């Protein structure tokens, strides 16, 4: 069963699983089935071997008024799902998690080695000081690749809810002997990405601006590093996680990323070039919940799941710009 099966990522996951020969049952709010509805789950779960949990409220959010929805859909909904899985003795879960659980990425300090800077201050952001410094000596640091064993440090409501999903899934695995895999998606983009919503990813926001003939507005100085991973690669990662050897009684987390980071400004410029402009406009603005750089190490997913992203940045963005 795929939850969120009518959504952007969930729809691609369901299609990929079906193409691989699996019988897929879908659950989605758009089709009148809510992951928070225990009765709906009891009707759908009999006969299910694996649950691939994609249903979630996504995005950075608008303001604190979103807190109840993030807690309800992502945290409570996952708890209801896990309880239902236990009732129906379903022992395998693939969870859509996110790189946002890390907060700021890893950095290298010349004096202190690997460090994790704290949240950037409003004063620094307003004055255009976007790069974090070493939390121990205050000197500049260099962005480094983050692995799954890094300590979580969620910086917004969405991130907190995704980390809570991981913790609940680990509780479920320990108490039932089930096997849970958390796929920490990095910046997912691709066909059918939602448009014109404050909860959309940055790639979708830029494409919508370009489609309307407006210049994409890039926050900060545009040099924020991200790992953009195509949705079809993400769908393949779910298939790989579902078919990999199980680890009873534990949750195992994996970065799902391309391994080839690009700046936000570069992504905006690539989309603009593919659509014939207008060129992006760097605003110097910021969102307080954003982090500066987050770059993934996909080595564990390659080693344990056999997953390697196959769609490169240039080809993927060219397709996405026209989709």
pTM across the whole model: 0.95
| Structure tokens that stand for 209 in this block | 């601006």
Query: 316: part of which helix (H) or strand (E)?
Result: helix 313-322
Q: Rounded distance, CA 31 to CA 27, Å?
A: 7
At the fourth CATH level, the homologous superfamily of domain 2-105+146-322 is NAD(P)-binding Rossmann-like Domain (3.40.50.720)
> Per the omega criterion (within 30 degrees of 0), is the bond before 278 cis?
yes
Strand segments, DSSP code E, in 206-279 are 217-218, 225-226, 228-230, 250-256, 262-263
35-71 per-residue burial string, b: 16 or more CB within 10 A, e: under 16: bbbeebbeebbeebebbbbbbbbbbbbeeeebeeebb
CB 222 within 8 A of CB 263: yes
Nearest to 236 by CA among 301, 191, 320: 301
What would the pLDDT profile of 235-279 be if each residue is shown by its tens digit? Answer: 999 999 999 999 999 999 999 999 999 999 999 999 999 999 999
Residue 279 burial (10 A CB sphere; 0-12, 13-18, 19+):
exposed
Query: How do strand 179-185 and strand 187-189 relate by DSSP bridges?
Result: unpaired
What would the pLDDT profile of 135-160 be if each residue is shown by its tens digit? Answer: 999 999 999 999 999 999 998 899 99
Least confident range of 37-46, 66-75, 125-134, 281-290: 281-290
Distances (CA, A) of 222 to 35, 42, 50, 227: 37, 47, 41, 14
* Residue 199 predicted with pLDDT over 90: no
What would the pLDDT profile of 53-93 be if each residue is shown by its tens digit? Answer: 999 998 776 688 899 999 999 999 999 999 999 999 999 99
According to the model, what pLDDT value does residue 195 have? Answer: 80
Distances (CA, A) of 30 to 35, 100, 189, 199, 256: 11, 26, 21, 17, 26
Query: How do strand 250-256 and strand 217-218 relate by DSSP bridges?
Result: unpaired
CA–centroid distance for 88 within its chain? 28
| Structure tokens that stand for 91 in this block | 């022992």
Query: 15: part of which helix (H) or strand (E)?
Result: helix 8-19
What would the pLDDT profile of 28-62 be if each residue is shown by its tens digit? Answer: 988 889 999 999 999 999 999 999 999 999 877 66
CB 117 within 8 A of CB 141: yes
The whole-number average pLDDT for the span 10-33 is: 95
Q: Rounded distance, CA 151 to CA 135, Å?
A: 15
What would the pLDDT profile of 304-318 be if each residue is shown by its tens digit? Answer: 999 999 999 999 999
């Amino acid at each position: 069963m795929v939850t969120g099966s009518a959504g952007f990522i969930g729809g691609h996951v369901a299609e990929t699983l079906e193409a691989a020969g699996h019988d897929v049952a879908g659950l989605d709010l758009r089709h009148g089935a809510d992951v928070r509805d225990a009765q709906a789950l009891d009707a759908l779960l009999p006969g299910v071997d694996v649950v691939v949990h994609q249903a979630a409220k996504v995005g950075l959010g608008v303001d604190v008024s979103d807190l109840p929805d993030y807690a309800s859909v992502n945290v409570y909904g996952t708890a209801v799902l896990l309880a239902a899985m236990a009732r129906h003795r379903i022992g395998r879960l693939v969870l859509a998690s996110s790189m946002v659980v890390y907060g700021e990425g890893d950095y290298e300090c010349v004096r202190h080695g690997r460090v994790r800077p704290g949240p950037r201050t409003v004063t620094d952001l307003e004055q255009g000081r976007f790069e974090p410094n070493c939390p121990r000596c205050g000197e500049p640091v260099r962005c480094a690749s983050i692995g799954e064993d890094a300590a979580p440090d969620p910086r917004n409501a969405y991130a907190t809810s995704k980390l809570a999903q991981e913790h609940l899934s680990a509780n479920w695995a320990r108490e039932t002997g089930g096997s849970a895999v958390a796929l920490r998606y990095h910046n997912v983009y691709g066909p059918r990405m939602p448009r014109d919503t404050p909860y959309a990813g940055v790639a979708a926001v830029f494409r919508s601006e370009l489609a309307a003939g407006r210049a994409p507005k890039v926050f900060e100085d545009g040099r924020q590093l991200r790992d953009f991973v195509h949705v079809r690669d993400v769908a393949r990662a779910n298939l790989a996680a579902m078919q990999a050897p199980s680890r009873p009684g534990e949750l195992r987390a994996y970065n799902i990323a391309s391994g080839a980071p690009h700046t936000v400004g570069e992504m905006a410029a690539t989309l603009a070039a593919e659509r014939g402009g207008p060129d992006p406009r760097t605003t110097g603005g910021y969102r307080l919940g954003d982090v500066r750089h987050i770059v993934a190490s996909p080595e564990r997913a390659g080693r344990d799941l056999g997953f390697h992203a196959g769609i490169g940045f240039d080809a993927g963005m060219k397709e996405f710009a026209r989709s």
